Structure 1
Amino acid sequence: MKTVEDLVPRVAAKARATSRTLPPVAGAEEVTSAEAALGFPLPPLLASRYREVANGGFGPDYQLLPLVGTGRTVPSEYRSERSASAEGETPYWPVGVLPILDWGCAMYAAVDCHSETAQVLLFEPNAMTDDGAHRLRRPRARTCATVP
């Protein structure tokens, strides 16, 4: 049986096999600095992917956003969504939910850093007909444990 400890090396092997170039890993100090800027720690499995696989740039189809660097990063996307959410009458982006993968068309895969299981959520605003208060939902069959 595979364990969580087996997952990071498997992800690293798959990332190396399917990516032409991977960004360097995020160092422990960079991860700590990003967590301080966010105001909460990353789930251990997510942090280890940035420290041991690469600073984003891997994944099936679309790729994990970088944790550190210039341009679009996990912290910058989080701040952007939180800010946009706060401007509306009904805030839709919760504290501690990190957008980690951009699916395009304004959709994100996000990790709830305040849940004990680091639940992966899908943000899908395109089919909304209400005020957007329920935009984050659990994806079907997509959790940290099922990502290759």
Structure 2
Amino acid sequence: MTENEQRLLARVATEARNTRPWGWTSLPAPVDESTVTRAEAALGFNLPPLLAALYLRIGDGGFGPDYGLLPLLDDPPAGEPAAVTQYLANRESGHEDPDWPWPEGVLPISHWGCAMYACVDCRTPQATVLLYEPNADEADHAWYVDAPSLAEWLQGWLDGTGWYAEDEGDAEPKPWPDFRVRTTAEGS
């Protein structure tokens, strides 16, 4: 982990201790290494180091923008399913409806409401954060680049500069150009 990522984690930890996203009453305890290992086995790919560090060092969801990060592996008693559960369900539904495939390695990490999710592309070195907006007319128009990296997405949350921030009305995400390539190449 780089020095910049360490500083970013410290800022995220401070914010996570001091604010609660909508619907969260407390910050869950961090997960242990075995939970990350089980999650990666269920997913079939590794989590980017920064994402794993968020779950290992800060908490099992319950911090971040809007509704906050989803729990990693274990579904909470009520509310949103865990990130792994949501990913596996989305991959399965993409097989059932080939017009709406879910790209391999794109893990939903935060729910925005109206079935929209912030997702980390675990196949990119920088862990690009994508916005899934299923209220579009077709799947090609449902995917956007939310932030070029997970670090930048977290920074945008901390600084109040993400597209979702009230003062940032003009900063809209750009379409994700790799959607069709990533889903067609996988045979979805």
Instruction: Compute the TM-score of the two structures, normalised by the length of structure 2.
Output: 0.71
TM-align CA RMSD: 1.7
Tell me the distance in 2 between the aligned counterparts of 1:45 and 1:125: 27
Aligned to 1:104: 113
CA shift digits 1:19-48 (9 cap, x unpaired): 352111000111111111111100000000
Separation in structure 1 between the aligned mates of residue 144 and residue 65 of structure 2, nearest angstrom: 20
Equivalent residue for 1:144, pick from 131, 147, 150: 150
What stretches of structure 1 of length at least 5 have no aligned partner? none
How far is the alpha carbon of 1:105 from its aligned partner?
Answer: 0.2
Q: Partners of 1:124 and 1:92 in 2: how far apart?
A: 13
**Percent of aligned pairs with the same residue?**
46
1:9 paired to 2:15: no
Q: Give the corresponding residue for 1:121.
A: 130
Instruction: State TM-score, norm by structure 1.
Output: 0.89
Is the 8 Å Cα contact of residues 92 and 134 (structure 1) preserved in structure 2? no
**Structure 2: which 5+ residue stretches go unaligned?**
159-188
Q: Secondary structure in 2 aligned to 1:51?
A: helix
Kept in 2, the 8 Å contact 1:107–1:124? The answer is: yes
Per-residue deviation, 1:117: 1.1
Looking at structure 1, the residues matched to 69 and 9 of structure 2 have their Cα atoms a distance apart, in angstroms, of: 14
CA offsets 1:15-74 (integer angstroms, 9 cap, x no match): 001135211100011111111111110000000000000000111222100002234111
**Superposition pairs for residues 1-148 of structure 1, below 5 Å?**
3-19=4-20, 21-71=26-76, 72-126=81-135, 128-130=136-138, 132-139=139-146, 143-146=149-152, 147=154, 148=158
Q: CA deviation at 1:75?
A: 0.6
